[in-house]
C-alpha cells in the first residue's frame, strides 16, 4: 500500500542523506590531513634556516661582535640564512596560489628560444661556479613562437635548469632543446648528465617536499617545491610533463607547449 511505499522512499532518502554526509565528512577528513601534513612540512622547512640565523646572531651578541676577524663572516652567514628563508617563503606562496587554483594565467605569444637564452644568462654565474655548461640544441635556428604565460614558463625553465646544476656533476653539461611535436605543439627538453634518479622515486618526484636525498637537497638550498610548482604550471596550461632518468647517466625533464600560429588560426 501507499504507507509501505512512503516508508521505503523515506528510508532510501535517509540512507542517501547519510551516505552524502559520510562522503562530505571523508572529504573534510582528507582535507584536514592534507592541511596538517602541509603545515608540518612548512614548519620543518623553515626551522633549519631560522635556527642558523638565530645561532649566528646569538654568537655575535655573546661577544663575537667584538672580534673583527669573525663578525663579518657570521653576519654573511646569517644573511644567507635569511635569503634562504625568503626563497622558501616565495616558493610556498607560489605553491599555495597554484593549489587553490588562483593562478590566473596571462597567455601571450612569445619566442621560447629567446626566453631560454634569457634564463641561461640569469643562471650563468650559478652554472659557471659548478663548471656546468648550458647548451642549446635546436631543430631550426630561428624564433619559435609559443602561446603561454611567459613569466610562468620562465619559472618552469629556471627550476629545471637550477636542478640540473644542483644535481649535475661539475664539468658536466645541460642541454636544452626545442622540437616540433605533433600538430601545433613543441616539446622543450632539459637534459643533464648528472647523478640520475633511482626508478622507485620517479613517480613521487613531483609531490611537494619530496626529495630523493633529503640532506643533499637541503644543503643545496632547495625547498623541495620546485618540481611541484613546475607540474602545476604545466598542467594549468593543459600541457604535459615528462621525466626520464638513469642512474649515472643523467636525467631529462620535458614539457609541451602550444605554438602560437595555431592560436591565430582559431
Ligand atoms: P629540491 O628543492 O629538493 O631540488 P625539487 O622539487 O626541485 O626540490 O626536486 C625534488 C627532488 O628531485 C630533488 O630533491 C632531487 O632529489 C630530485 N631531482 C630533481 N631534479 C633532478 C635532476 N636534474 N637530477 C637528479 N635529481 C633531481
ipTM of the complex: 0.98
Nearest CA, atom 18, ligand 1: 163
Within its chain, how far is the Cα of 148 from the centroid? Answer: 18
pLDDT per position as a tens digit, 33-92: 878 888 888 888 899 899 999 999 999 999 999 999 999 999 999 999 999 999 899 999
Regarding the beta carbon of 212 and ligand 1, being less than 6 Å apart is answered yes
Regarding the beta carbon of 244 and ligand 1, being less than 6 Å apart is answered no
Task: For residue 103, report the distance from its CA to the centre of ligand 1, in Å.
Answer: 23
Task: For residue 252, report the distance from its CA to the centre of ligand 1, in Å.
Answer: 12
Task: For residue 250, report the distance from its CA to the centre of ligand 1, in Å.
Answer: 12
Q: Is 135 helix (H, G, I), strand (E, B) or coil?
A: strand
pLDDT per position as a tens digit, 148-164: 999 999 999 999 999 99
Element (H, E) at 242: strand 241-246
Mutation choice for ligand 1 from 130, 167, 204, CB with most ligand atoms inside 8 A: 167
Please check whether residue 191 is in contact with residue 250, taking contact to mean a CB–CB distance below 8 angstroms.
yes
Query: Please, what is the average pLDDT of the chain?
Result: 89
Please check whether residue 31 is in contact with residue 100, taking contact to mean a CB–CB distance below 8 angstroms.
no
Mutation choice for ligand 1 from 48, 194, 206, 217, CB with most ligand atoms inside 8 A: 217
Residue 214 alpha carbon, nearest atom of ligand 1: 14
CB atoms within 10 A of CB 125: 8
Task: For residue 195, report the distance from its CA to the centre of ligand 1, in Å.
Answer: 11
Task: For residue 234, report the distance from its CA to the centre of ligand 1, in Å.
Answer: 17
- pLDDT (0 to 100) of residue 216: 61
pLDDT per position as a tens digit, 243-253: 999 999 999 99
Please check whether residue 78 is in contact with residue 53, taking contact to mean a CB–CB distance below 8 angstroms.
yes
Nearest CA, atom 19, ligand 1: 163
Grid cell for residue 155: 619559472
- pLDDT (0 to 100) of residue 261: 74
Burial class (CB in 10 A: 0-12, 13-18, 19+), 56: buried
Amino acid at each position: 500500500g501507499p504507507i509501505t511505499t512512503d516508508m521505503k522512499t523515506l528510508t532510501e532518502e535517509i540512507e542517501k542523506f547519510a551516505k552524502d554526509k559520510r562522503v562530505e565528512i571523508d572529504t573534510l577528513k582528507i582535507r584536514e590531513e592534507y592541511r596538517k601534513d602541509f603545515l608540518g612540512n612548512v614548519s620543518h622547512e623553515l626551522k633549519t634556516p631560522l635556527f642558523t640565523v638565530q645561532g649566528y646572531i646569538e654568537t655575535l651578541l655573546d661577544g663575537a661582535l667584538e672580534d673583527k676577524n669573525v663578525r663579518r663572516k657570521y653576519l654573511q652567514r646569517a644573511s644567507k640564512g635569511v635569503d634562504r628563508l625568503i626563497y622558501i617563503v616565495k616558493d610556498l606562496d607560489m605553491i599555495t596560489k597554484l593549489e587553490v587554483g588562483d593562478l590566473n594565467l596571462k597567455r601571450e605569444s612569445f619566442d621560447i628560444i629567446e626566453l631560454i637564452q634569457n634564463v641561461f644568462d640569469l643562471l650563468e654565474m650559478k652554472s659557471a661556479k659548478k663548471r656546468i655548461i648550458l647548451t642549446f640544441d635546436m631543430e631550426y635556428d630561428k624564433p619559435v613562437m609559443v602561446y603561454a604565460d611567459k613569466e610562468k614558463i620562465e619559472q618552469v625553465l629556471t627550476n629545471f635548469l637550477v636542478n640540473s646544476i644542483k644535481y649535475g656533476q661539475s664539468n658536466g653539461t645541460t642541454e636544452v632543446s626545442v622540437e616540433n611535436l605533433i600538430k601545433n605543439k613543441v616539446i622543450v627538453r632539459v637534459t643533464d648528465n648528472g647523478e640520475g634518479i633511482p626508478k622507485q622515486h620517479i613517480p613521487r618526484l613531483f609531490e611537494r617536499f619530496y626529495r630523493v636525498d633529503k640532506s643533499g637537497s637541503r644543503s643545496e638550498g632547495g625547498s623541495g617545491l620546485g618540481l611541484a610548482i613546475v607540474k602545476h604550471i604545466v598542467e594549468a596550461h593543459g600541457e604535459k610533463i615528462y621525466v626520464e632518468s638513469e642512474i649515472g647517466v643523467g636525467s631529462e625533464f620535458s614539457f609541451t607547449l602550444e605554438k602560437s600560429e595555431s592560436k591565430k588560426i582559431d
